[in-house]
Structure 1
């Protein structure tokens, strides 16, 4: 039996950043390890420049996701005006940048992706060398120190995270936890409003059979989403396992 902390993520807009090159800023269909570590760190009040606090989070937690719906893709054409790089000029605030002479202002174009009306269940558990407690994480999610966002500051949660602790025999029992329907809807209304598919995607770390003791139909890949150094935006690799499960499918 393992104790898990389980919570729900939903928002009209979410953005789970992936490797970004050039003008494109893509999003994954579900939150990655770095996103969950960042969200829990914000709830606890761990700052990005707190290297020791970030290390404790990274080394203490195992993470799994159940994607109930990836949401629909929205692409935002984004423009930002910034001053040209000049070795003798330092802009300390955004106001300083915008007050720069027009002749040195450049426009940067980018394409930013979001997921609309996505719905995910997250389960975290303690690793053997954990320096945190699930009870403390649960309290932090109920009353976060910093505002919580689903990837970007424009993406606050659209429903309570409803964190809870649960001790179960397998990870899938934790991820299949039911939450109250969103916005007072019935379960059937929520299913129709969010266009929830019949399939759910499970993604986890550890080993192939951790989900429910059955390694059949499991695929794996290397994911570069383990936050090694927040201030330098450095990420390391880990092995992620995934399995698509149809509603009502026997284990």
Structure 2
């Protein structure tokens, strides 16, 4: 753990961006009809977000594996938000009706006689007004498929629509990606927060109307970091206080297959 947690004096590059949403849902392993959510995005969610920004197709397994294996990830949880539980119903055809028929779209799946459709029930969890910061860094000794500047530009001008876990969960603020030189993820988050506040102040003053009133804030103020979550491949800058297994290591995006990895946590309540 020394390599993970120590604050190195040398500087490295980190891509940092923010995730704010009125609703978000970071999928956990689903059991039966229950679809839970974590309080912050896991590795597979971040790989999917970057893949969507780059315009990767779901069946491009090598490209997704490059995002998984080429970078280390850290998440600074600013707020876990509030839990919202949705009772959900959906119509599905029986398995026998799908034999020999392509079902690449929802419309194709439902193109059976109405009397053949069944109703399934599920409970789906969302987080309300959750927010976090994300740091991405190339793995030591690795060969990342994309430069951090290219990933930042993709997040500014994504090829596919970005959403936070489910398609109904649109970001409520720009991701505002920045490439930052720092000694660790913790240091990168602190530098990002300072840049963010400076940009907010400048935008606030520049966007006043004719009566001197400020316009709509597109960059909401950042809350202090509550918790830092990080993997084995990024310099966190803090010692791990707890390590837990998470089943969010992407194996096959097209088949929704995920494996285990270890996530480390450190509590930073009250720190900006």
Answer yes or no: same fold by TM over 0.5: yes
Partner of 2:260: 237
Q: Distance in 2 between matches of 1:235 and 1:98?
A: 28
Which deviates more, 176-185 or 59-68?
Answer: 176-185
Is the contact made by 1:76 and 1:113 (CA closer than 8 Å) also made in structure 2? yes
- Secondary structure of 1:184's partner? coil
Assess, with a 3 A threshold, how the Cα gap between structure 1 residues 238 and 95 changes in structure 2: closer, same or farther.
closer
- Secondary structure of 1:247's partner? strand
Is the contact made by 1:65 and 1:175 (CA closer than 8 Å) also made in structure 2? no
Per-residue deviation, 1:159? 0.4
Partner of 1:90: 101
Which of 104, 123, 126 is residue 114 of structure 1 equivalent to? 126
Alignment of 1:96-245 (within 5 A): 96-127=108-139, 128-129=141-142, 130-176=144-190, 177-178=192-193, 179-180=196-197, 183-184=216-217, 200-206=226-232, 210-212=235-237, 214-215=238-239, 218-245=241-268
Assess, with a 3 A threshold, how the Cα gap between structure 1 residues 45 and 243 changes in structure 2: closer, same or farther.
same
Q: TM-score, normalised by structure 2?
A: 0.80
Per-residue deviation, 1:90? 3.1
Per-residue deviation, 1:228? 1.5
Assess, with a 3 A threshold, how the Cα gap between structure 1 residues 52 and 68 changes in structure 2: closer, same or farther.
same
- Secondary structure of 1:239's partner? strand
Assess, with a 3 A threshold, how the Cα gap between structure 1 residues 145 and 76 changes in structure 2: closer, same or farther.
same
Q: TM-score, normalised by structure 1?
A: 0.86
Which deviates more, 138-147 or 174-183?
Answer: 174-183
Assess, with a 3 A threshold, how the Cα gap between structure 1 residues 51 and 95 changes in structure 2: closer, same or farther.
closer
Q: How many residue pairs end up in the alignment? A: 239
Q: Distance in 2 between matches of 1:101 and 1:171?
A: 54
Which of 19, 26, 30 is residue 9 of structure 1 equivalent to? 19
- Partner deviation per Cα, 1:99-152 (whole Å, 9 max, x = no partner): 533332210001111111111000000012222210110110010011101001
- Partner deviation per Cα, 1:130-186 (whole Å, 9 max, x = no partner): 222101101100100111010010011110000001011122011232135695289
Q: Distance in 2 between matches of 1:156 and 1:97?
A: 25
Alpha-carbon RMSD: 2.5
- Secondary structure of 2:186's partner? helix
Is the contact made by 2:16 and 2:189 (CA closer than 8 Å) also made in structure 1? yes
Unaligned runs of at least 5 residues, structure 1: none
Assess, with a 3 A threshold, how the Cα gap between structure 1 residues 173 and 96 changes in structure 2: closer, same or farther.
closer
Per-residue deviation, 1:66? 0.4
Per-residue deviation, 1:97? 4.7
Per-residue deviation, 1:91? 6.3
